[in-house]
């Protein structure tokens, strides 16, 4: 199964992103950033594309002026 990992430059921005996603009813998980993904922050947001549309997530975060990178990852 594929997931999307959203990484941010700080834990503060991860928490702000979580607040935005929760206020928009968008399902997500806060997870430790996978070791193979370089990030200044040890936490990231994981999105299951079968539950929520990545475009809705991206639009909500960009509207809140949050910068992030998206990585696609297989989870077994």
Domains of the chain: 2-74 (3.30.70.260)
pTM of the entire predicted model: 0.89
Residue 35, pLDDT score: 84
Question: What are the pLDDT digits (tens) for 4-42?
Answer: 999 999 999 999 999 999 999 999 999 999 888 876 778
Residue 34, pLDDT score: 87
Euclidean distance between CA atoms 42 and 10, whole angstroms: 8
Euclidean distance between CA atoms 70 and 73, whole angstroms: 10
Whether 74 has a pLDDT exceeding 90, the answer reads no
């Amino acid at each position: 199964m594929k997931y999307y990992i959203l990484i941010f430059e700080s834990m503060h921005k991860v928490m702000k992103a979580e607040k935005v996603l929760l206020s928009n009813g968008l399902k997500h998980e806060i997870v430790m950033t996978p070791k193979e993904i370089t990030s200044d922050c040890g936490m990231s947001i994981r999105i299951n594309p079968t539950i929520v549309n990545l475009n809705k997530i991206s639009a909500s975060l960009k509207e809140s002026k949050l910068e992030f990178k998206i990585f696609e990852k297989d989870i077994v």
